[in-house]
Amino acid sequence: MIVIVDYGMGNLRSVEKGFERFGFDVKVTDNPNEIKNADKLVLPGVGAFRDAMDGLRQRNLIEPIVESVRSGKPFLGICLGLQLLFSRGYEDGEHSGLDIIPGKVVRFNFSGNGMKEKLKIPHMGWNQIVSRKEGNPVLKNVPPNAYMYFVHSYYVCPENKGVIATETEYGMCFTSMIWHKNIFATQFHPEKSQQYGLTMLENFGNL
């Protein structure tokens, strides 16, 4: 059973449909016990870091998510679901995340990078991912420079660069996917990324 965590943020149906396309047994739930008993866990999300953490806290979902990840179950974070894995987020102040992956989540700041021409924020649309780590099972049959669909204003900064699975260029080089043991998480939206994004969902379901 693949369980998709519902904490009140994001289009969960599109993620669910992505897995159903390949015949996987999938369920969307905010029930802590169902999350604990999942074979695989998916944490999607679109929106603000603080609101997401509040949503998880109000539904008593933080402990079962952290327990599931640390038990070694395959975990897939998507967009905000990637960012929540980190220690701290800096959207409208400083807020604690799940602290599973040490690091922070910060806003694009192109003027701070010395760029004369500012790119649009949010970073929205198709962009390439560049593989930085060999053997990623979720990227099986996905070209190392495939295009994926992004919508975000913040990006993750892992303390341990060894968790970086792919990077993407948008005024700077940022982490677009992490992979650490049983943890896979993307800044882009596989469910909206057509053939190669759906291949990623299939690969995760087959783990």
* Peptide bond between residue 44 and the one before it cis (omega within 30 degrees of 0): no
Q: At what angle do helices 194-205 and 12-20 cross, to 10 degrees?
A: 70
Would you say how long the chain is, in residues?
Answer: 207
173 is catalytic: no
Contact call for residues 75 and 63 (beta carbons, < 8 A):
no
Contact call for residues 181 and 75 (beta carbons, < 8 A):
no
79 is catalytic: yes
Which residue in the list 123, 152, 180, 189 is annotated as catalytic?
189
Which residue in the list 16, 91, 191, 202 is annotated as catalytic?
191
**DSSP codes joined into one string, 19-33:** HHTTT--EEEE--HH
157 is catalytic: no
Which residue in the list 16, 79, 123, 152 is annotated as catalytic?
79
3-class DSSP assignment, residue 190? helix
Tokens for 115?
């760029």
CA–CA separation, 148 vs 190, rounded Å?
Answer: 7
Catalytically active residues, by annotation: 79, 189, 191
